[in-house]
Structure 1
Amino acid sequence: MTIENKLGITNSAELAKEEERLSKMQAIKLFESDALANLPAGKFSTLAFIHEYLFRDIYSFAGEIRDVNIAKGNFRFAPLMYLREALQHLDAMPQGSFDEIVEKYVEMNIAHPFREGNGRSMRIWLDDMLKKELGQCIDWSIVDKEDYLLAMERSPIRDIEIKHVLGKALTNNIADRLTYMKGLDVSYHIEGYNAYKAEEL
């Protein structure tokens, strides 16, 4: 079933295409406005700002914590009843090293705080943390997409793989728009539509 959207689109494939197009346009505006400069790195409030910025023209829930339980395959993301507590815990996690930042990224992926659009928002959030804490970011153009997806799937149990995959792609080229935009490719993260199962509460 297609997620309710502001565009009135009822076809999943068409919605996916429009979501990617519009969110990428917003991502360029976000990059060029430098709107993240004065926001705290690694906080949920900053991730919510990013999500609202990217998806406000598409979803009424942009920037808002999901109100459904969601699962992908056999994996259930953080249950709704514990989600706000999990996000408070995430805010307090350390982020002074590459390993700590990736561990925080993995935990945010497990939380999956939004109904849709988690992947793209979280990659901008990750790069923002890396830039502000370490003066680096990920060059997504050299990240193998299959390796990334498999490593993310296994990361709740074993995060060494995702640390290896992302660690190989670190760059000091933090001001390059193309490097930033490569992280928004939808193929890095199969967003909802038919991938997620949601249980309305």
Structure 2
Amino acid sequence: MKYHTPESEDEILPNKLGLEDPGKIAEEEYRGFLRAEIKFESELDHINQFNWKFISSIHKTAFSHLYKFAGELRQVNLSKGGFMFPAARFLPAAVEEFEKEFLKPLPDSFENYEELIELAAPLHAELLFIHPFRDGNGRTARLFGDLIALKRGFERFNFEMISEKSMPEYIAAVQAAADKNYEPMTRLFRSLKK
């Protein structure tokens, strides 16, 4: 399901490559995130801070060849399935609060996988609720979660288990973050263990 914006922007986002075929755009987006995954996993030993700048660099690495907005906070208001994400004008404050509340407290290590989940799931839910980017939020958040897990010595999360059938549960878990209820996402993350 595509986003709805108040403006009359087409389903096809304007892109640097002039692509109009949704399939070709999806291929380029996939390539971009594959490139970002390879880059950041290969640099994992040198990554010392999981901060907002790092999240933004994931998005920029994945999308800079395709979109002008790569790595930038969205300038439009978005909704999906009737659910409104925070208004664009509130994003700078929301990101600042997110960094203070979720990123700065991240420890250098986790005792076990459950402790990782208890911190990573709320962080994931909140990041997706804020929806800071024009597109690519879910992919950015999933790659970011995997990089945290890998850096701390755990396997990546098995996000492939989120199927079309379980997507409503995933979306509901993101929406629950609007009320600071992270239990639905934590429950979902527990089911992602390989």
User: TM-score normalised by the shorter chain: which range applies?
Assistant: 0.7 to 0.9
The Cα of 1:133 is off from its aligned counterpart by 4.7
Q: Select the residue among 137, 149, 154 that pairs with 2:172.
A: 154
User: Are 1:76 and 2:95 counterparts?
Assistant: no
**Residues 98 and 127 in structure 2, CA contact (< 8 A), matched pair in contact too:** yes
SS at match of 1:137: coil
Label 1:28 to 1:39 Cα distance change in 2 as closer, same or farther (>3 A): same
Label 1:149 to 1:37 Cα distance change in 2 as closer, same or farther (>3 A): farther
* TM-score, normalization by structure 2: 0.75
**As a proportion of its length, which structure holds more strand?**
1
SS at match of 1:145: coil
Q: What does residue 27 of structure 1 align with?
A: 36
The CA RMSD measured in Å over matched residues stands at: 2.3
Q: Select the residue among 131, 134, 138 that pairs with 1:119.
A: 138
Label 1:48 to 1:24 Cα distance change in 2 as closer, same or farther (>3 A): closer
**1: distance between equivalents of 2:29 and 2:75?**
20
Structure 2 unaligned segments of length 5 or more: list them: 1-9, 108-114
Counterpart amino acid of residue 82 in structure 1: F
User: Are 1:87 and 2:75 counterparts?
Assistant: no
Equivalences for residues 1-201 of structure 1 within 5 A: 1=10, 2-20=12-30, 22-31=31-40, 33-34=42-43, 37-41=46-50, 43-93=51-101, 94-96=105-107, 97=115, 98-133=117-152, 135-141=154-160, 143-146=161-164, 148-155=166-173, 156-157=175-176, 158-170=181-193
SS at match of 2:164: helix
**2: distance between equivalents of 1:138 and 1:147?**
18
* TM-score, normalization by structure 1: 0.73
Q: Which structure has more RCO (C-alpha within 8 Å, separation ≥ 6)?
A: 1
What percent of counterpart residues are identical? 25
Q: What does residue 112 of structure 2 align with?
A: none
Counterpart amino acid of residue 75 in structure 1: F
Label 1:24 to 1:82 Cα distance change in 2 as closer, same or farther (>3 A): closer
Counterpart amino acid of residue 163 in structure 2: K
Q: What does residue 4 of structure 2 align with?
A: none
Runs of 4+ residues over 6 Å off in structure 1: none
